[in-house]
Chain A
Amino acid sequence: MVKISKTQELAQNIKLFEFDSPLIARKAQPGQFVVLRINEPGERIPLTIADAKKEEGVLVIVFQEVGKSTRLLGTLKAGDTIMDLIGPLGKASEIEKFGTVVCVAGGVGTPEIFPVARALKQAGNRIISIVGARNKELLIMQEEMQSVSDELYITTDDGSYGRKGLVIDELKRLINENVKIDKVFAVGPVIMMKAVSETTRPFNIATVVSLNPIMLDATGMCGVCRVEIDGETKFACVDGPEFDGHKVNFDSLMARLKTYIREEKESMQLFSKHTHSCTCGGK
């Protein structure tokens, strides 16, 4: 049993949770993730470690409510417990002094990239961050990103804040303006990471992406998280989740992410039906 010590709604359907987990917090490094299981019938879902407060023994995650498990998680309150929290998992990000690093994030990719950007900044890099969201309301962790970035550009799909457009437009602008970029880190929807990788490829700008395939054990024993890197099969949970974006077969990843679409829908419908007839007030 692991206790939730704090919950906070960052935007609609995006929540930040803190857990009392001194062991994992002590070891967590940027780029790593945890797996959690809410209750006995629950599935094991992977979530990136958005922050780890080592002294307090607190682990922070930020998640978007997309299906049954994340929605159920979202109904929990501070003081509640979940069954299992496992980690830290995956390889840590490679943090070095590269020079100028562009950190590109979309949606819940922002909290995921935040610890990486902070570590890169501490390592002496100049950080240019590009953060995107569909609209102003969905923008999260701006202040945090601001605090670790030398320059921060914000885009919204509808132009309700920052520049209207996609993160990729900003990245292209930087490249066109001949900003010397030594490395790009991109975290967000697969389609966005693919676009970033395609954009940087012709310019040979080293690009790291953080992949989010379906996972199960997340310790390298089942192979569901396999991704194709430069024609070779790798297990994202132990060999990644970060990989060289120019080598990733994104189309295969996108197809594999859809494996359980039917079951996910069924689960969600059942969950909605249930929650609407119970006492939670249709939440």
Chain B
Amino acid sequence: MAKINPKKTPMIEQTAQERVKNFKEVPFGYSEEQAVEEAKRCLQCKKPFCVAGCPVEIDIPGFIKAIAEKDFKNAIKILKKKNVLPAICGRVCPQEDQCEKECVLSKKMEPVGIGRLERFAADWEAASGETDIPEKHVLTGKRVAVVGAGPAGLVFAGDMAQLGHEVTLFEALHKAGGVLVYGIPEFRLPKAIVQREIEYIEKLGVKLITSFVVGNTQTIDELLKEYDAIFIGTGAGLPWFMNLPGENLNGIYSANEYLVRSNLMKAYLFPEYDTPIVKGKQVATIGGGNVAMDSARTALRLGADKSMIIYRRSKTEMPARIEEIHHAEEERIQFEFLTLPVKYYGDENGWVKEMECLRMELGEPDASGRRRPITIPNSEFRIPVDTVVVAIGQSPNPLIPQTTPDLQVGKHGNIIADEKTGRTSKKGVFAGGDIVTGAATVILAMGAGRIAAKSCHEYLKTGIW
């Protein structure tokens, strides 16, 4: 056997200096030759551990073999059996915690670039212009409503349509895609790709209705009069603030607001687009997850001189994808670790101008297994800022639970649903994704949509709850 290259085949990217001036995607993706080269690094294990690391159990050696053999069409076919949104997952899955973490190569060298190959296959299909629309099942005559067009809802809708049900997908915003369109920036996930996937779902026969806020425009109970079953995939959209003095000063954003303005409303194209955004020069983003990285990198692209990440733990505890932390470092985002904001100071017009922070140290591990940050007394210091983005997390939006009294919710406002079936406490109502688990990942939300579709199909066939 030929010697294996210890490193992943590199993916060409825009240089850091160049890319901070635009919103275009950072990596360009593999060429056919590069993809084949990377695919050949895979050992085609008899017992592929990588598959166990993938929440939707993609036949990873299978699709990689097809790429190695240049049968790209077959590669995409294998991928789509388990994952209807490969172009998205290949880009945003935290592979280092999932498939690639379990890859046998990772013990001694860099794992196979599974995500990169997945992305390659999906992009190849798009470029080839031939997307196979699977044959439709016989129509069952059952009507299903899906609430929320994020990854969970999209996958559920797609699966149910393929099973022959009449599916209507309701989305509160004016565009479908959930976090994929309003949260994750263009430079990490081009919106044209998300649009393509949504069009695919529509081609499967799903009827999409945007600007429809379930709970307000119609309640779950009202929908249940017209539909035989409902899936709720409304995500974790309620932003957290820290309740610090001065937090309502002008220039202080939740990450949701900052990203919705920039991504969904295209504020970076203001005044061509009408929605404005503050183009701060000294921007501090609070948090250490993907949302924080996305915000801090967006700030740079909006023209910040200095974009900082303020995180209360240290680098090792940061939950963001490694690739994004790496990209952020390359782009000269400044990291202030072990730092906790405690107060904001404003100018005479109500604009934020400084934030006061405390230094922290790490103590014993907490419930999350990570070492607990503890404040160091009298360590206050101030940072001059003109824009702050609070990216410390979000919880499920209470709109649907509030308007559906018999839907059981947990103490964080999450809808309670059975992990194996997606069934909620209310007959005919299923739920999955961030609304059930709290903020998690795209692939987990998709997995939940798929599980719920399977059990919803059963329910519609048998009527047994």
**B397 contact from A27, A89, A220, A228, Cβ within 8 A:** A220
Which chain A residues (211-257) contact chain B, with CB distance < 8 Å?
216-217, 219-224, 226, 228, 233, 238, 252, 255-256
Distance of A43 from chain B, by nearest CB (Å): 4
- Chain A interface residue bracket vs B: 35 or more
Q: How far is the CA of A267 from the CA of B218 in the complex (A)?
A: 35
Which chain B residues (155-208) contact chain A, with CB distance < 8 Å?
172-174
Distance of A5 from chain B, by nearest CB (Å): 18
Q: Do B216 and A220 touch (CB < 8 A)?
A: no
**A87 contact from B216, B237, B254, Cβ within 8 A:** B216
Residue of A whose beta carbon sits closest to that of B250: A259
Distance of B360 from chain A, by nearest CB (Å): 25
Q: How far is the CA of A193 from the CA of B261 in the complex (A)?
A: 29
Distance of B250 from chain A, by nearest CB (Å): 5
Q: Do B398 and A220 touch (CB < 8 A)?
A: yes
Q: How far is the CA of A138 from the CA of B24 in the complex (A)?
A: 49
Q: Do A224 and B250 touch (CB < 8 A)?
A: no
Q: How far is the CA of A221 from the CA of B234 in the complex (A)?
A: 11
Given A219-B397, A220-B238, A221-B239, are A27 and B218 neighbors across the interface (CB < 8 Å)? yes
Distance of A30 from chain B, by nearest CB (Å): 15
Among the 9-residue stretches A78-86, A96-104, A139-147, A165-173, the one with 4 or more Cβ atoms under 8 Å from chain B is: A78-86
Distance of B195 from chain A, by nearest CB (Å): 13
Q: How far is the CA of A222 from the CA of B458 in the complex (A)?
A: 37
Residue of A whose beta carbon sits closest to that of B254: A223
Q: How far is the CA of A259 from the CA of B280 in the complex (A)?
A: 13
The 0/1 profile, CB within 8 Å of A marked 1, for residues 248-283 of chain B is 111101101100110001100111111110100000
Q: Do B174 and A24 touch (CB < 8 A)?
A: no
Does A264 have its Cβ within 8 Å of any Cβ on chain B? yes
Q: Do B239 and A41 touch (CB < 8 A)?
A: no
Q: How far is the CA of A84 from the CA of B209 in the complex (A)?
A: 11
Q: Do A23 and B217 touch (CB < 8 A)?
A: yes
Q: How far is the CA of A255 from the CA of B347 in the complex (A)?
A: 11
Q: How far is the CA of A244 from the CA of B13 in the complex (A)?
A: 54
Q: Do A84 and B274 touch (CB < 8 A)?
A: no
Residues of A within 8 A of B269 (CB): 41
Residues of B within 8 A of A258 (CB): 250, 349-350
Distance of B349 from chain A, by nearest CB (Å): 7
Residues of A within 8 A of B247 (CB): 233
Distance of A38 from chain B, by nearest CB (Å): 9
Supply 19 A–B pairs (Cβ within 8 Å), ascending by A: A43-B274, A84-B210, A87-B216, A219-B237, A220-B397, A221-B237, A221-B239, A222-B254, A222-B260, A224-B254, A226-B241, A238-B399, A256-B248, A256-B250, A258-B250, A258-B350, A260-B276, A260-B278, A267-B274
Query: Which B positions have Cβ atoms within 8 angstroms of A?
Result: 172-174, 210-213, 216-218, 237-239, 241, 243, 247-251, 253-254, 256-257, 260-261, 265-266, 269-276, 278, 349-350, 397-399
Query: Which A positions have Cβ atoms within 8 angstroms of B?
Result: 23-24, 27, 37, 41-44, 68-69, 83-89, 216-217, 219-224, 226, 228, 233, 238, 252, 255-256, 258-260, 263-264, 266-267, 270
